[in-house]
Structure formats: structure tokens, C-alpha cells
């Protein structure tokens, strides 16, 4: 199993989000998130550290997915760290609340 498939499966099986109804539900990737996962996979396969600047529409799930991928990376490897950068504190707070 390649890393992208394993990360998608691991995220799908282990991570949860709060949906728009306020319910805690499994994080099943949508089409936009699978597209982002494909871009991440291509960078990994090329041997590059994953670096993506997201200029995106709202509510496509890319922030959620990028945080899920980062969590997968740091959770499955020793001595790894991740960094999330946002334009302002309010936007960052929305990702983590």
C-alpha cells in the first residue's frame, strides 16, 4: 500500500470532525480532499517534503484535510513536527474549534 492510500485510509478510520450539524462524525474525504491528497502523494513520490500554498475557496475541506495529513505524518513518525500558517488568528481558530 502506498503512503497516500495508507494516509487516506488511516484518516478515514481514525479522525473525526464536527459537521455543520454540530455532530462528531468520521472524516471521510470528499472529492476536493481526495484531489488534495493526490497532490500530496505526488510530492511524496517525487521525494520532496510536502509544501503546498492553498489559495482556495471556502468550505471545500482543504484546510481540514491538510491538517489531517499533517496529523497523520507527525503521529506515524518519531521526531516530526508540523506547522499551520493562516492569514489571521480568527481563521486559524476556525480550523481548531
59-82 residue pLDDT tens: 888 888 988 998 998 888 889 888
Domain spans in the chain, listed from the N-terminal domain onward: 3-96
CB neighbour class for 68 (10 Å; exposed up to 12, middle 13-18, buried from 19): buried
At residue 10, does pLDDT exceed 50? yes
User: Which pTM does this prediction carry?
Assistant: 0.75
Q: Which of 44-48, 53-57, 79-83 is the least confident region?
A: 53-57
pLDDT at residue number 58: 75
Instruction: Calculate what percentage of the chain has a pLDDT beyond 90.
Output: 33
Q: 83 vs 2, 31, 52, 69, 93, CA distance in Å?
A: 24, 24, 12, 12, 14
Please give the mean pLDDT across all residues of the chain: 84
Amino acid at each position: 500500500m502506498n503512503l497516500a492510500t495508507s494516509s487516506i485510509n488511516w484518516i478515514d478510520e481514525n479522525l473525526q470532525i464536527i459537521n455543520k450539524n454540530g455532530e462528531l462524525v468520521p472524516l471521510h474525504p470528499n472529492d476536493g480532499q481526495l484531489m488534495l491528497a493526490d497532490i500530496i502523494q505526488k510530492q511524496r513520490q517525487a521525494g520532496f517534503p510536502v509544501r503546498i500554498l492553498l489559495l482556495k475557496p471556502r468550505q471545500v475541506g482543504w484546510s481540514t484535510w491538510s491538517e489531517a495529513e499533517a496529523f497523520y505524518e507527525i503521529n506515524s513518525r518519531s521526531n516530526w513536527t508540523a506547522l499551520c500558517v493562516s492569514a489571521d488568528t480568527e481563521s486559524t481558530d476556525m480550523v481548531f474549534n
